[in-house]
């Protein structure tokens, strides 16, 4: 198939449903050969079903595209290796890794169980780090062999919860903030091989958000509206864009700006804690306010 990703080989994790599915379909429509990964579990990460990945592969093939299924758990280090090896084995290489798989186990910090903390951190952070590690190892070797930049792509999935903060999602938000930081670091490390690294913070009506999204709001937020940006980032057209986080949903695409140093005060000798009451409130008043879940300055 022709398109801006013609002939590129892409892995999409968690591509059996929701955003991953529409990313895989759009990448294939744009000409990519896609490894559709999905463990097929419930929203809390329990269970598995090989049918989820298979159905999306069938959809892609029926539309004239190329795809294969993978049902590994992305948070399993050896599973991540098998996934990357499968792309190279089946399609002869790897150009694009989209880390998208995710689960939710919302609880307030006071109620949080160790199991719910670990499960969410594991799927999001290990599930991003493992596939990226094996892809990066492959890309490093390829760049050394070929002696020229690869034009490969890492596209991670963060969340408004991680970059702006959301009540009741300390496990998920901490993992997603970690993924945003991981993306910036990956951009600095992989740039030398010609690999860009960016992240999307999507808003879409999927089974993960159906319980929390008001129906009228959800109507304008199809997961397929996020996928054109993912396909563009996956293409060779996005060479100059790296280390960025995009806040994307409905028809809107925004750039989320990173933590940056705001107003500062310096003293040559040791600060006296008792004096800081005359310093810190003024400093905070001069700083840009924190934002709400829309990414815009919080009211009041």
Ligand X SMILES: NC(=O)c1ccc[n+]([C@@H]2O[C@H](COP(=O)([O-])OP(=O)(O)OC[C@H]3O[C@@H](n4cnc5c(N)ncnc54)[C@H](O)[C@@H]3O)[C@@H](O)[C@H]2O)c1
Which residues are part of the catalytic machinery?
A: 172
- Laid out side by side, the sheet with 245-249 consists of 66-70, 33-37, 9-12, 96-98, 152-157, 195-203, 245-249, 252-256
Nearer to ligand X, 204 or 256 (CB): 204
The least distance separating ligand X from the CB of residue 96, rounded to whole angstroms, comes to 16
Nearest residue (CB) to ligand X, 82 versus 140: 82
What does the alpha-carbon distance between residue 206 and residue 209 come to, in Å, rounded to a whole number? 5
- Binding residue (CB under 6 A) for ligand X from 150, 203, 229, 230: 203
| Residues forming a β-bridge with 247 | 201, 254
> Which of 30, 37, 116, 183 contacts ligand X by CB under 6 A?
37
Please answer whether residues 8 and 33 qualify as being in contact, where contact means their C-beta atoms are separated by less than 8 angstroms.
yes
Q: Show the site string, 7-36: x = touches ligand X by CB under 6 A, - = not.
A: ------xx-xxxxx----------------
Q: 3-state class of 291 per DSSP?
A: strand
Rounded to a whole number of angstroms, the minimum distance from the CB of residue 51 to ligand X is: 11
Compute the least distance from the CB of residue 186 to ligand X, in Å: 16
Answer positive or negative: Cα dihedral of 80, 81, 84, 85. negative
At residue 138, what are phi and psi to the nearest 5 degrees?
-65, -45
Q: Is 173 in the site for ligand X (CB under 6 A)?
A: no
| 157 near ligand X, rule: CB under 6 A | yes
Structure tokens of 70? Answer: 């993978």
Q: Which 248-287 residues touch ligand X, going by CB under 6 A?
A: none
225 near ligand X (CB under 6 A) = no
Reduce the DSSP state of residue 297 to 3 states and report it. strand
d(CA 151, CA 101): 24
Binding site for ligand X (CB under 6 A): 13-14, 16-20, 37-41, 43, 45, 52, 73-75, 100-103, 123, 127, 157, 159, 202-204, 206-209, 223
């Amino acid at each position: 198939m022709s398109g801006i990703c013609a002939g590129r080989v892409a892995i999409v994790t968690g591509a059996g449903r929701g955003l991953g599915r529409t990313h895989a379909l759009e990448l294939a429509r744009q000409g990519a050969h896609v490894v559709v990964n999905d463990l097929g579990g419930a929203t809390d990460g329990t269970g598995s079903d090989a049918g989820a990945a298979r159905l999306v592969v069938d959809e892609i093939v029926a539309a004239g595209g190329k795809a294969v299924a993978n049902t590994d758990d992305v948070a399993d280090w050896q599973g991540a290796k098998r996934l990357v090896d499968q792309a190279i084995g089946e399609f002869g290489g790897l150009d694009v890794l989209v880390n998208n798989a995710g689960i939710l186990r919302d609880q307030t910090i006071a109620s949080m169980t160790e199991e719910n903390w670990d499960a969410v951190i594991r799927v999001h952070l290990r599930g991003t780090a493992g596939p990226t590690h094996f892809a990066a190892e492959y890309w490093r070797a390829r760049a050394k062999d070929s002696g020229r930049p690869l034009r490969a792509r890492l596209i991670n999935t963060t969340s408004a919860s991680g970059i702006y903060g959301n009540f009741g999602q300390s496990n998920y938000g901490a993992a997603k903030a970690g993924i945003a930081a991981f993306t910036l670091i990956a951009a600095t490390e992989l740039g030398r091989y010609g690999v860009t690294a960016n992240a999307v913070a999507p808003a879409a009506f999927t089974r993960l958000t159906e319980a929390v999204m008001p129906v009228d709001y959800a109507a304008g937020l199809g997961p397929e509206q996020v996928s054109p940006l993912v396909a563009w980032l996956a293409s060779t057209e996005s060479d100059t864009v790296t280390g960025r986080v995009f806040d994307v949903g409905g028809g809107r695409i925004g750039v989320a700006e990173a933590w940056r140093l705001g107003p500062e005060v310096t003293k040559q000798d040791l600060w006296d804690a008792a004096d800081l009451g005359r310093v810190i409130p003024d400093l905070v008043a001069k700083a840009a306010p924190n934002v709400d879940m829309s990414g815009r300055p919080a009211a009041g």
